């Protein structure tokens, strides 16, 4: 599908096509529909980020909480499952899997949302290291970092659509 085709979609189809970019938060695409047309993919992504930035703290928190824990065995969206598999999280040795689950629990209890990390191009070792380091942050520092990671995840997902701009 091309970007001009995306721009021409009615609201419901636009949301259906782009709603997955921000995990469990199709409201981002829905609000963005009125800002069409988008001249390029970078602008589309920037406008989506702007929508999240303008959202209430409660909406942002719900967006963060919509993401699954990294390495979880629980059901998750196809996009999340593919991203995590690509980083090797489904093939962790039992000891590392247990450590990841323990750190995820500590993180979630401290911050109130799951550890978010754009895993594309990362290894499970880099993910564990980032999780360990970010546990030392304050909630005031970690909340915007979690949102930055969500923006990166959305960018990678948008890139995966391979929208042609002509």
Annotated catalytic residues are 67
> Which tokens in the block code for residue 36?
């069409």
The answer to whether residues 87 and 122 touch, using CB atoms and an 8 Å cutoff, is yes
Helix (H) or strand (E) holding 118, with range, is none
Comparing C-alpha atoms, which of 121, 79, 84, 77 is closest to residue 104? Answer: 84
Contacts of 161 (CB under 8 A, 6+ apart): 1
How large is the angle between the packed helices 57-65 and 41-54, nearest 10 degrees?
120
Sequence-distant (≥ 6) Cβ neighbours of residue 134 within 8 angstroms = 107, 115, 142, 145
Look up tokens 């989506």; give the residue. 48
Nearest to 118 by CA among 88, 84, 92, 91: 84
């Amino acid at each position: 599908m091309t970007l001009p085709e995306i721009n021409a979609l009615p609201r419901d189809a636009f949301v259906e096509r782009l709603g997955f970019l921000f995990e469990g938060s199709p409201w981002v695409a829905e609000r963005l529909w009125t800002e069409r047309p988008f001249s390029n993919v970078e602008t589309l992504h920037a406008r989506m980020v702007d929508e999240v930035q303008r959202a209430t703290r409660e909406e942002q928190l719900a967006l963060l909480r919509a993401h699954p824990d990294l390495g979880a065995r629980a059901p998750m969206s196809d996009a999340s499952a593919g991203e995590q598999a690509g980083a090797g999280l489904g093939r962790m040795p039992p000891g590392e899997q247990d450590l990841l689950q323990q750190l995820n629990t500590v993180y979630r209890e401290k911050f109130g949302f799951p550890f978010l990390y754009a895993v594309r191009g990362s290894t499970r070792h880099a993910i564990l290291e980032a999780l360990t380091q970010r546990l030392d942050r304050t909630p005031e520092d970690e909340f915007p970092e979690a949102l930055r990671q969500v923006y990166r995840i959305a960018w990678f997902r948008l890139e995966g659509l391979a929208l042609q701009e002509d």
